[in-house]
Structure 1
């Protein structure tokens, strides 16, 4: 039966009955028209295939809550930016399969073999046993990667197991060379580096490459290599020190030894409580978000004055709530003009941001941060990690960079953050730091809930007319000692003039 009945009507057109037990051949000999049961229309095989793709997409894109994110490429949203590409590509060493065949990194194979050989010597387990453990777990390790990245190794588990073995040993030995012992000093570390003929600058570039999203190795590999010997514990402790060294600031380094030990122990307990990290970059993110709960001491002030002040503030805010629905944000310069002081938080945790206020003065607490050549690559790869479609997270690092970018518009804002002990500039000029954060914020979408409370408090503080008047008066008359002295002199002159007028009028006759 043809697809067109007599009279020119199309089979399956509205108003016509269609038999469901017949197949209709279209003019195209390669396509079959199939009637749909309980309906009065027909669909081709191609159309049915298109509709099935919707069901596959619906069932295939659901994330399993217990599944770990896969090691994969940087999302295209970030990778297509020319300024960001250099942040995602290894400079010295390739780790894992994603950049293994990069011809510009083939020279790193000898370096990795040298590091791996010294690790086998230091761990105290024969190399055959270590490699066999890796080969035994190869099927589970392959599940840690995006399947399309391992297509070339689908029939070559031996090559993949050897890659994991060498790369894992190289990572552990490279980190141990600088962070292996609490008691060794810099000279001993240099001696260990010279023993392997590895220069310090090359080792520093290796450390930077270990935090690239596309250069990650499953943390399970490091566990397999260190769990078969008592010496493995010192390698895992070296990793913890390595992560801490990439987080703590110069201010924290100046703390008493007991405080540093407490911070390290709390970090160690935190890592033991959490499940096994995905990779080193994921471990760095956990460390940046770990926070020791401490209550900040409130300011002491008069209870009556506080109640009166809050009443005036709340009344003013109620009249403005109808007109302001979004929490607009300002840079550091404008916050200072609004009577907000900047203070360094007690920890480097990215969520340790808070705001409190007493009378007409507010305090914004921010975690201290060191900005150097590694800041851009580390934070951009952390952001790329958060943007991976299979990683369920709250985008804290992304929101932090957006928050910091809103504070920094120009070099003067960076200087104010430095003066407050919040930012340590190891990059160069303050202008370069401002450009870095403005560039990193390109096309980033922060979480609508992270820092929302702080933003709301700052917004209400800046929009209150009583606070604005007080802040303007403060910056006009008390911004510097000279303006303060001029203000005092003017008040004294007025008082003297008033006294002179009084005595002139009431002079005894």
Structure 2
């Protein structure tokens, strides 16, 4: 048999497990189906391959639905120093931390608060509980299914948890933000410092309860007065409420409110900010345009100095009229500038708002994340934090100024902001600092006018030079 017949390399000869798809005389590309069928696959391997079909058929994530209550994204949880900002200090709400052994006082505290609420609401407790149990199927949809795995066949335990936790939240908030606050303060059964920790725990991402639970519990009886305390509670976390402290709550429609942390974020985005077309521009050119590509970069469009460096360049910090995170601007008069920043409190809720924006099913413009990254540009050390505190733009809820500086310096490695949100202000600051004439005048002013002592030292030096010049003049021109 010839080599051609054996398929020993002659052109056009193929093995029996190869099929010629396209053959022509012009030596164009030839597509050959190189199927490999002589390697056996186990059932497990076939199942792995079929999982690709399941993943493909799953399609894109649904970003239009309400974001689910879930654990903090692993990007932040893997940083040990961040974990203390996500863990409840006093009270557990919902299923994620329900069985935490370190919160041994939580169960008793919640029962006391719930008992007070049931006693004050003016509705039979059986009726309140039935309202919750009737909507259990809908309430469970607010959570990531993984977080409810242990309650898959135990609606009774989950319903009781929702009932007690919801009553406890409403009563705790009412203790300080209710209509008859002076009467309530006279009957406090919980220490004021512990109540403050409870409020802090209510803004943790992993400690959220569907707001629908609170709506069901306040749908009758004296429920309205308890619900009216909620917007006051949210406003209490905002430094400068501005003129929009009333209507922001009215636009939150019943049944569409997600949870307390989401309401806090909504509140921080309400107020004087960009004009209406800016949000359209942001939607078009960031989240649904080039933002996904832009946010893969960890740097800002323009690098600006920290607070001390800006001060040397003649830029002073001033508090904006509202705490809306888009109420930021830069004004320059001759050689000096003022950077207006919304006053905010840096506490546990700060990191939880960032974690909330990072949730995979939450479609948002990363305003909180981007604002905190902009502050990170201004903060390098504790002295920068002190300058911001003195300017009234930053309130420290973490303890020491060193801890705040440490937090901002560490968070920068794990966050990817949306550069377009504050790019216009950063551009103005960048241009100001790069102007050599402005820079020299500002540094001269900073050197000689930053304190009364520096000013009087300059005056004394000028006076000494003047007197010395006079003495020299009269020495030369004295009458003979």
Cα distance, 1:90–1:58 mapped onto 2, change above 3 Å: same
Which residue among 352, 366, 370 is the counterpart of 1:381? 352
- Superposed CA RMSD in Å reads 3.5
Q: Please state how far the C-alpha of 1:344 moved relative to its aligned partner.
A: 0.6
Aligned: 1:393 with 2:344: no
Equivalent-residue separation in structure 1 for 2:171 and 2:381 (angstroms):
42
Q: Please state how far the C-alpha of 1:294 moved relative to its aligned partner.
A: 9.1
Equivalent-residue separation in structure 2 for 1:39 and 1:49 (angstroms):
24
Cα distance, 1:120–1:466 mapped onto 2, change above 3 Å: same
1:279 paired residue number? 259
Q: Which residues in structure 2 correspond to 1:159-174 (within 5 Å)?
A: 159-174=157-172
Moved more, 432-441 or 450-459: 432-441
Equivalent-residue separation in structure 1 for 2:447 and 2:88 (angstroms):
52
2:283 paired residue number? none
2:74 paired residue number? 76
Q: Deviations over 1:245-304 (max 9, x none)?
A: 12226xx7xxxxxx7xx54323333435x9722111111111122123599xxxxxxxxx
1:288 paired residue number? 268
Q: Which residues in structure 2 correspond to 1:225-374 (within 5 Å)?
A: 225-229=217-221, 231-248=222-239, 262-272=243-253, 276-293=256-273, 326-371=301-346
Q: Which residues in structure 2 correspond to 1:457-472 (within 5 Å)?
A: 457-472=428-443
Q: Please state how far the C-alpha of 1:454 moved relative to its aligned partner.
A: 1.3
Moved more, 399-408 or 456-465: 399-408
2:86 paired residue number? 88
Cα distance, 1:482–1:98 mapped onto 2, change above 3 Å: closer
Equivalent-residue separation in structure 2 for 1:292 and 1:326 (angstroms):
24
Q: Deviations over 1:211-234 (max 9, x none)?
A: 1111111111111111233x2221
The number of aligned residues is: 434
Equivalent-residue separation in structure 1 for 2:34 and 2:46 (angstroms):
15
Residue 271 of structure 1: SS of its match in structure 2?
coil
Q: Please state how far the C-alpha of 1:456 moved relative to its aligned partner.
A: 1.3
TM-score, L = length of structure 2: 0.80
CA contact (8 A) 2:301 2:419 kept: no
Residue 375 of structure 2: SS of its match in structure 1?
helix
1:315 paired residue number? none
Moved more, 64-73 or 53-62: 53-62
Q: Please state how far the C-alpha of 1:391 moved relative to its aligned partner.
A: 0.9
Residue 42 of structure 1: SS of its match in structure 2?
coil
CA contact (8 A) 2:212 2:255 kept: no
Q: Deviations over 1:336-382 (max 9, x none)?
A: 111111111101122221112122111100111235xxx0x211111
2:35 paired residue number? 41
Equivalent-residue separation in structure 2 for 1:490 and 1:93 (angstroms):
63
Residue 181 of structure 2: SS of its match in structure 1?
coil
Gaps of 5+ in 2: 1-5, 20-31, 276-299
CA contact (8 A) 2:97 2:207 kept: yes
Aligned: 1:409 with 2:380: yes
TM-score, L = length of structure 1: 0.75
Q: Please state how far the C-alpha of 1:503 moved relative to its aligned partner.
A: 10
Residue 356 of structure 1: SS of its match in structure 2?
strand
Cα distance, 1:41–1:415 mapped onto 2, change above 3 Å: same
CA contact (8 A) 1:175 1:238 kept: yes
CA contact (8 A) 1:175 1:239 kept: yes
1:128 paired residue number? 126
Residue 365 of structure 1: SS of its match in structure 2?
strand
Q: Please state how far the C-alpha of 1:242 moved relative to its aligned partner.
A: 1.0
Equivalent-residue separation in structure 1 for 2:114 and 2:431 (angstroms):
57
Residue 245 of structure 2: SS of its match in structure 1?
helix
Residue 155 of structure 1: SS of its match in structure 2?
coil
Cα distance, 1:140–1:481 mapped onto 2, change above 3 Å: same
Q: Please state how far the C-alpha of 1:332 moved relative to its aligned partner.
A: 0.4
Q: Deviations over 1:409-451 (max 9, x none)?
A: 2232222223322233465543343234334445222222221
Residue 329 of structure 1: SS of its match in structure 2?
coil
Q: Please state how far the C-alpha of 1:50 moved relative to its aligned partner.
A: 4.6
Gaps of 5+ in 1: 1-6, 21-37, 253-258, 296-324
Which residue among 433, 446, 460 is the counterpart of 2:404? 433
Which residue among 159, 176, 181 is the counterpart of 1:184? 181
Equivalent-residue separation in structure 2 for 1:52 and 1:86 (angstroms):
41
CA contact (8 A) 1:356 1:363 kept: yes
Cα distance, 1:504–1:217 mapped onto 2, change above 3 Å: same
CA contact (8 A) 1:478 1:484 kept: yes
Q: Please state how far the C-alpha of 1:168 moved relative to its aligned partner.
A: 0.9
Equivalent-residue separation in structure 1 for 2:134 and 2:363 (angstroms):
30
